[in-house]
A = this chain, B = another copy of it.
Amino acid sequence: MRPLLLPLAALSLAAAAPAPAPLSPTEIVAAAPASAWRAIDPATLLVLDLAQGGRAVIALAPGFAPAHVANIVALVRAGWFDGNAIVRVQDNYVVQWGGAPAPGRMRPKSLVAHPPAEYERPRAGLALRALPGRDVYAAQTGFVGGFPVASDGRTAWLAHCYAMVGVGRDMPPDTGDGSELYAVIGQAPRHLDRNIALVGRVIDGMERLAALPRGGAALGFYASPAENSPILRARLASDMPPAERPHYEEMDVASPSFATYLAAKTNRRDAFFVRPANALDLCAAPVPTRPAGAGSPH
Contacts and interface: CB of A to CB of B under 8 A. Distances in A.
B188 A277 contact: no
Contact of A4 (B89, B135, B219): B219
A191 B7 contact: no
Counting chain A residues whose Cβ lies within 8 A of the other chain, the interface size class is 35 or more
Interface in A264-284: 265, 268, 271-277, 279-281, 283-284
A182 interface: yes
Interface centre among A193, A195, A265, A268 (most CB of B within 10 A): A195
Contacts of A9: 170
Given A194-B275, A218-B2, A210 B171 contact: no
A159 B137 CA distance: 19
Contact of A283 (B176, B187, B218): B187
Interface in A183-237: 186-196, 206-207, 210-214, 218-219, 221
A91 interface: yes
Contacts of A163: 92
A10 interface: yes
A240 B172 CA distance: 50
A124 interface: no
A171 B99 contact: no
Contact of A281 (B162, B182, B190, B221): B190
Contacts of A186: 162, 186-187, 210
Given A211-B212, A211-B214, A195 B275 contact: yes
A154 to B, nearest CB: 14
A168 interface: yes
B279 A13 contact: no
A199 B194 CA distance: 36
Contacts of A176: 7
A56 interface: no
A171 B3 CA distance: 8
Contacts of A94: 5
Interface of A: 2-10, 13-14, 17, 89, 91-92, 94, 96, 99-100, 117, 119, 133-137, 161-163, 166, 168-172, 176, 180, 182, 186-196, 206-207, 210-214, 218-219, 221, 265, 268, 271-277, 279-281, 283-284
Given A134-B136, A195-B275, 15 more contacts: A3-B171, A5-B94, A5-B169, A6-B171, A89-B211, A92-B162, A92-B206, A117-B274, A171-B271, A191-B276, A191-B279, A191-B280, A194-B275, A195-B273, A211-B214
